[in-house]
Structure 1
């Protein structure tokens, strides 16, 4: 089969249709290759993301198991819980109602946690965040009331626990306090059982912040 082409001299010449077909196929193959390369790049990116997520999950599981091992004895007593890397202690174990004064048994419990937590934190270059929480029952300030609201109570309790840990041997550079008041409840505040669960102190290992580089002094001209 041939295709007629008209030249400038008015003479018609024939061109093989296969040449046109070949050019068309070359273009299609090139487009297909580009699409295939794009698909492979996307798949490689998804595979890398998947591998990263798997490594992250494995590290989290190893971290959880290491923390469980470090706190095996306190966990066996049932006075300490461990959930998603957060160590929980009921507020009633540590403090009387609406108080920031540690019970003697609560101080002993904190003392038992210091050594295993020091080892765990030291091996991983992490810090311990001590967080205070309350129920949603409002605290009314008054002459006989030390705290103006739940946030202040939770802050003071977190500070009390932090200081107790330091007194029992936890390096002050490895622990700090945070307060959440009635935020982040773990149970309903509709009944006393739920409110008791929300009155708690939690401790969670967190990565140490990278040190801020000190700028070099400017050179005098």
Structure 2
């Protein structure tokens, strides 16, 4: 009995930073996540090379180089974020996790924060890759615009972060990797296709392909309402429901 009480006391005092470090390490601890991160690293660099190779089609400025890199991150990085929320359920290792930390919402919070940190790291890498490609363009004697307004940096980071949070929201809600990945890629397309007639007005407010594009382009004026509505409906609500489901779901 004394041993059990001591173990419970130790579990109840697990520092959140330690929990975050564990979830950060686990986010890249699977073979699928590691390979996905390698693919993302290569493709982001390749995306910044496209404007370098096609100078007539892309402006030789920061937005022209950051746009393709941001799209790669927005498509692929959420897959890693989904794995962060779902892989343990598929591997049936959640019993160990929740034994060490019975307060499941803290575990979900650590996983989400780990995904946020990964998004920030990915955004920084995109900026570095774009800077390198832009420097090469400048070295080739092209007319390059080096000025980068802060609103575009904020737009890039927010765009990547929102897409990663969208993936995490689906992962937390479904707790199933294939279902969450399919929903992440298919649902925005379906929503765009059905946004006609009486759904057209709702589509302008909840179509993430449009509202998140405003974020990437730093086009905030007049679009704050739709952006916030999309965030609330597609990210905040599923994450809250997913945290509630995680807290109540039986662990076999």
Larger radius of gyration: 1
Larger strand proportion of the pair: 1
Under a length normalisation based on structure 1, what TM-score does the superposition of the two structures give? 0.31
Under a length normalisation based on structure 2, what TM-score does the superposition of the two structures give? 0.28
Q: Which has the higher contact order (CA 8 A, sep 6+)?
A: 2
